[in-house]
Amino acid sequence: MEFWKSIAYFLLAGILEIGGGYLIWLWLREGRGVSYAILGAIILILYGIVPTLQPANFGRVYAAYGGVFVVLSILWGWGVDKVVPDRFDVIGGIICLIGVLIIMHWPRT
């Protein structure tokens, strides 16, 4: 159960960070209204809270989260910006996820 809870926290944090960042991007780069910036900032604050729910220490959580962020960013680009990942995106994403699993869930003595 702890494993799946950890995965859910990573996914939620990733969606919040990428979604909030994307709204800020739209505000600054594409001239959307200030409401995009405000909503993006609120979402980014929520992103900052979610990783504190992880069972591991700060460094381990944020190191592993980097790999999750990479994969979710590729998926966001594919789903939102319609940029289809190439084989190198897929290979890199798999490598990142293997790193996440090792960092967060490899048995330690």
For 35, the token pair is: 């409401």
- Structural domain that includes position 81: 2-105
Compute how many other C-beta atoms are within 10 angstroms of the C-beta atom of residue 5: 12
pLDDT at 35: 98
pLDDT at 3: 83
Q: What is the residue type of 61?
A: V
Compute how many other C-beta atoms are within 10 angstroms of the C-beta atom of residue 59: 9
Rounded distance between C-alpha atoms, residue 92 and residue 57, angstroms:
25
In which residue ranges of the chain is pLDDT below 50? Answer: none
pLDDT at 18: 96
Residues in the chain, overall count: 109
Reference 9, options 53, 68, 58, 67; nearest CA is 53
Total-model pTM: 0.84
pLDDT at 32: 97
- The domain total for the chain is 1
